[in-house]
Amino acid sequence: MASSPDPFRAESGGATAGTASNPLTTLSRESSYAIRIERPGIPPDPSVAGKRSRFLEFLAAKRLVLREIGDGDQVGLLEIVWAQVIRRGSRSLALFLGLLVACAGFTVLTAQSRSQELVTRGKVTTAGRSAYDILVRPQGVQLPMEKKGGLVQAGFLSGIHGGISLAQWHQIEKIQGVEVAAPVAVIGYVVPRVAVPAAKHVNLNPGNGSKLFRLDTTWHTDNGASTEDGRPSFLYVTSGNLTTNATQSIAYQTIDGVRRKILAVPTTNQVTVHSPPTQVSALTKTQYESIVAGDGPQSGSALGAVVGFPFLLEAVDPAAEAKLAGLKGAMVSGKYLGSGNISTAVVGGQSSQQVPVVVASSPATHISLSYKIQELSSSAVRHVQLGKGFDSLLNSPGVTVGSGSFNQDAAYQELLRAMKNPGSALGDTGFAARDLSDMYVAGPTSYTGKSLSGAKVLAAQPQRTNLGVWQEPPAGGGSFTIGSIVPAGADDTAFRNLTGYQWDTTNTSRLGSPTVAYQGTFDASRLPGYSALTRVPLGTYASTVVTGATAKDRKILGDKALPPSPNIAGYVQPAPLMITSLSSLPAFESGSAFWNPVTTDKPGTAASPVNAAAPISSIRIRVNGVTGVGAASRARVRLVAQQIEAKTHLLVDVTIGSSPAPQTIVLPAGEHGRPQLTLHENWVKKGVTVAILTAVDKKSVALFLLVLVVCALFVANTVAASVRARRTELGVLACLGWRKSRLVALVGIEIAGVALAAGIGGGLIAWAAGSAFGLPVSPGRAALAIPAALIVALVAGVIPAVSAAQASPMEAVQPQVSVPRRASSPHTVIGLGWVNATRRPGRSVLAAAGLAIAVAALGVIAGILTVFRGNVVGTLLGNTVSVEVRGSDKAAVIAILILAGIGVANVLFLEIRERGTELATLQAIGWRESDLTALLLTEGVLIGVAGSVVGAGLALVILAVVIGSLSTGLVWSVLVAALIGIVISVAATIPPVATIRRLPTATLLTEE
């Protein structure tokens, strides 16, 4: 390669004689550059001799490394590069270490993040398979929240009553790819009830006279937050004789020789809608003693309360339900449902239709009952004996003879026993435990959006329940009364519309009313457990879990979930825990035998809780060959769903990948003492799994790019400092005739060499770290550090190299002096810090840009995690994934912030090195070390504030575009990220400030 043109030509003989005294020859002894100072073919020009002499003296004064070479030698770029690396090892080492750390960290972080991404996909794939893949419902049942955002309200499907025919179900069964199609027909709520004995050990023996006792009860629901006083029950016990009428509704006793009507035994509560209704009983001493002895069905107690347990009754296909939900395998006693039809029998002296059911082994509702038994005064006894009734005795004082509480579980087991053996219960309790003639349908809850502490929440809307739904015609005709089936809390705040259906006892042309034909019990906890992260709207036999959102709410609820109450119109609905077969539906389709006590004032008007033409509420479908949420599985599900929609024209939803989505609910105060509550309730978000996979991919790409960008800025800062330090040398080469392209190549080769070494070292470190910590850093992945280092270094270094080559040669060899655009006279340390920070704005802007990207990365990643919790994936599945991914996110953000901090520190180190004489001068004129520290701290803070503010603004803009809106919490998270950026910039000033103490003040002033 020919030598570069040289404007200075050697004089005749200059290369031989006089070599020892030639300044160039003197320089050659210390040189490591090879430079030809001759332009061949150009005659000597004496006029330039003086200029050349002064230039060589300049080179000697600058102690530049030059070597004179003989004719025919060529300048080797690699030789110059190697000489520069050795000569200025500290700067080369700084560039090497910066690239080494960046490449090793980038490789390890991306490997870790990729590993976390694969774990995320695996977790989603595992959790994404729920109990069923497709849900089929009637058209027109979607609420606005589901249409708009894919949110399905908790328990919403239990409010769908029919709309799908049996023929459509059989159509779906025949579609290719359908593994099982399990229909559900929601019939409604029934309230079986049982008498629970009280005060078994209280002596109520009247002796030789008569006594009157009153049982006062208090019902507790909502974990004790709601309290309701029940209607008192009375027991009249006498040693005399009692006679009753044919129906045993009136008791007579001969008193003072006169036969008197002691009491009328009411079968219904005609006063108010409290539960249990007033019970009035009369016993002779002999009857009482028989009961206490255990001969009677009440097993040792003459007083008791009637407890009603609401059951949501649903009809299923036994075979399909066993296959889809595993109901048959959850049976713990008795037998499973068969496919037989209903039968007729006589229960409690009445003809009835026997409906085979299986019931849950434990109640869905939660209720407790405390009681107190008082013996009333003799005047109260006389009041009754005169036939004056009991209304005036409701609050009459008495002497407490016993107290206690009822055990809900024991009462429920008594109910199951009465279902199995109706003859074992007192009076009509056996029939009451099996009675299905009163049916109630609860609609969905309505919500309005509101703001609570800056967050959007849903407020449940109270609704008025017409208490007429509880009225029923008395046997044998007469006026309508409030029925004895009214459960506790029926007059508490309602959140659902309630519709009642009563069996028409006046219609004798129909079969008897439907009653329970007990088959067995199942334990809902034994049902196959699909992932709790992907439960779908009707996938379990468990009630919705509703918990307190704040410590105050949790304390009110006794640190427990808010359970369903016996109030059917209440907020939390009980699970479907009474199941019958589809073959039993005709018992509830006899329209003329049911009537609605609210819409009509007389029986005989057709009304039925079941749509005879289309009784099925929903169909749950599992598709063959589906193993998770992969593309093949989703395609199979989509194909089956399309065929179902085409053949049935029903509403078809693909539920694969659905997950519970926690919602914040504000529940207004109740009528029985419960205050307003803020609750968390799991709704269902459809299609979460696919959204998570997409979001994870986008976040990983964004993370990798941010790491690369910050790494490039750090390298650019280091290369710019190296080029700036060599500005004079590059200027000399330009003066000696080097082309600009060759100067750029000189810098580029040096950067590439250092980057290559750093890439190799970074790859080896990443591979070793992967082996040590179990990260998936394969040799191939580790080798990617080499091209990454080369690309980042060359891209980052090209601008400083080109800018150095563009400088005027003569200006480059002169000392740099910054001439301000206008004079400034700062009078404070802060003012001088501002002047210094803006003296070389390019350098400060580069450091601020790195910090801005770091703050933006922190803010954006925090925003993405916020989206996972509250929007796209504000679900259990999303929260679990975000927890698993968050480790790599934190590591990446920390790495980015560290690189940005190093960039700020690097700027301050360069400032100290280049302004050493200036700092020494300030010390010489009396500046304290603390003043210099404050000066550098000011520069660091200014860079930090500028970068953090820009980064925070960038993060907000990105989040606003991606998410669509900025909540208060999101803005606060970005502001915290900006504050962290400022703190990091302040921390980055500590190492540079520490070097001030080691400044050689005297040496610097002497050299100046």
In whole angstroms, give the CA distance from residue 10 to residue 530: 91
SS3 673: coil
**Contacts of residue 446, Cβ cutoff 8 Å, sequence gap at least 6:** 460, 461, 463
pLDDT confidence of residue 294:
52
* Helix locations, 314-394, DSSP H: 318-325, 378-385
**Contacts of residue 957, Cβ cutoff 8 Å, sequence gap at least 6:** none
- Closest by Cα among 685, 698, 710 to 879: 685
pLDDT confidence of residue 34:
36
pLDDT confidence of residue 1003:
60
C-alpha angle 439-443-448 in degrees, rounded to nearest 5: 160
- Closest by Cα among 235, 257, 276 to 375: 235
pLDDT confidence of residue 406:
79
151-152 vs 331-334, strand pairing mode: unpaired
pLDDT confidence of residue 593:
64
For residue 778, which phi and psi values (nearest 5 degrees)? -75, 165
- Other Cβ atoms closer than 10 A to 555: 10
| 33 in Cβ contact with 80 (< 8 Å) | yes
350-360 vs 343-347, strand pairing mode: antiparallel
In the chain, which stretches have pLDDT less than 50?
1-75, 266-277, 295-300, 424-429, 475-483, 537-538, 592, 601, 603-604, 870-874, 883
Q: What pTM value is reported for the model? A: 0.65
The torsion region of residue 571 among left (phi > 0), alpha (psi -120 to 50) and beta comes to: alpha
SS3 280: strand
**Contacts of residue 43, Cβ cutoff 8 Å, sequence gap at least 6:** 9
pLDDT confidence of residue 226:
92
| 66 in Cβ contact with 734 (< 8 Å) | no
CA atoms within 13 A on the CB side of 912: 25
pLDDT confidence of residue 167:
95
SS3 945: helix
Which position has the token pair 């080559």?
805
pLDDT confidence of residue 909:
78
pLDDT confidence of residue 169:
96
Secondary structure (DSSP) of 498-528: EEEEEE-TT--SSPPEEEEEEEEEE-GGGS-
Which position has the token pair 């907000």?
956
- Closest by Cα among 610, 202, 689, 599 to 403: 202
| 777 in Cβ contact with 108 (< 8 Å) | yes
Which position has the token pair 């409604």?
188
| 177 in Cβ contact with 639 (< 8 Å) | yes
Name residue 57's amino acid: E
For residue 930, which phi and psi values (nearest 5 degrees)? -65, -35
In whole angstroms, give the CA distance from residue 729 to residue 743: 10
The torsion region of residue 620 among left (phi > 0), alpha (psi -120 to 50) and beta comes to: beta
**What is the Cα 237 distance to its own chain's centre?**
61
Q: 196 exposed, middle or buried (CB, 10 Å; 0-12, 13-18, 19+)?
A: buried
In whole angstroms, give the CA distance from residue 529 to residue 520: 21
In whole angstroms, give the CA distance from residue 548 to residue 82: 70
In whole angstroms, give the CA distance from residue 870 to residue 636: 30
**Contacts of residue 509, Cβ cutoff 8 Å, sequence gap at least 6:** none
| 314 in Cβ contact with 184 (< 8 Å) | yes
Q: 282 - beta bridge partners?
A: 236
pLDDT confidence of residue 276:
36
User: What are 661's two structure tokens?
Assistant: 């989505």
